[in-house]
Amino acid sequence: MWLEEHPILDFSSKRPKLVKFYFEGKEMWGYEGLPIAASLHANGIKVYRYSTRLNRPRGFFCAIGKCSSCFMVVDGVPNVRTCITPLREGMRIERQRGLGKIDLNLIQGEAGSDDNV
């Protein structure tokens, strides 16, 4: 559930665009630019992966990219820290089971400083 009414905070500026994404093939809506995990949680999804050895459910935990609890498979890439990875339109997000396999062809990207300051 998204917070709408709050005595101190106004979230409207952080929610510029509602976009469609897919969780385990199911269509969901979330806010572009906010972390994937936030939109999943707001959609009631709390289990993000199953642990490697004991197959235990894992969800959100530290929220700052430090703990590995929220690793998921995003557009085919495993071990994505969904708590600090922004949601983009059309993303396909799956629960991760175990370690996941890395497709080396998917690794790319350019360095660039951000203009959000």
Partner 1 sequence: MTMSKSPAEIFGYSFPDIRETQLLIVGGGPAGLSAALQALKLGLKVTLVESGLELGGQLVKQTHKFFGSSLERAGTRGFRIAQELIKELTPFKGSGQLEVYLSTTAIAVYPERIVLLSQLSGKVFPIKPKAMIIATGAQERMLPFPNNDLPGIYGAGGIQTLMNQYGVKPGKRALIVGAGNIGLIVAYQLLQAGVEVIAILEAMDRIGGWWVHAAKVRRYGVPILLKHTISRAIGKEKVEGAVIAEITPDGLKDKYQVECDLIGISVGLTPTVDLLRQANVKMKYVAFMGGFVPLRDREMRTSQSWIWVAGDSAGIEEASTAMIEGQIASTSVAKWLGYISEEEAKREIDQLWARLGYLREAEVSSKVRKGLEEVLVTWGG
Partner 2 sequence: MSKLSNLIPPDEQVSFWSGVLDPESNLDLISVPPEDLWREKRAGLVVIECPQEIPCNPCHTSCPTGAIKVEPLTAIPKVNYDLCTGCTICVSKCPGLACFVIDKTPADYSIVKLPYEMYPVPKVGEVVDCLDRTGKPVVEGEVLNVTEPSRDGTKVIWVKVPKGFEMTVRAIKVKGGE
Q: 7 or 109, CB closer to partner 2?
A: 7
Using left for φ > 0, alpha for ψ between -120 and 50, and beta otherwise, residue 76 falls in: left
Q: For residue 82, list its beta bridge partners.
A: none
Q: 22 or 59, CB closer to partner 1?
A: 59
- Cα–Cα dist 89/81, whole Å: 17
Beta strands per DSSP E along 38-81:
49-50, 57-58, 71-74, 77-81
Task: List interacting residues with partner 1 (CB under 8 A).
Answer: 1-3, 5-9, 11, 14-15, 33-35, 37-38, 41-42, 46-48, 51, 56-67, 83-86, 107-111, 113-114, 116-117
1 in Cβ contact with 42 (< 8 Å) = yes
CB of 117 to partner 2, least distance (A): 24
Q: Considering only residues 1, 5, 108, 114, which one is a binding residue for partner 2 as defined by CB under 8 A? A: 5
Torsion on CA atoms 27, 33, 35, 37, rounded to nearest 10 = -10
From residue 7 to residue 46, the character string flagging contacts with partner 2 as x (rule: CB under 8 A) and all else as - is xx--------------------------------------
Per CB under 8 A, residues contacting partner 2 are 5-8
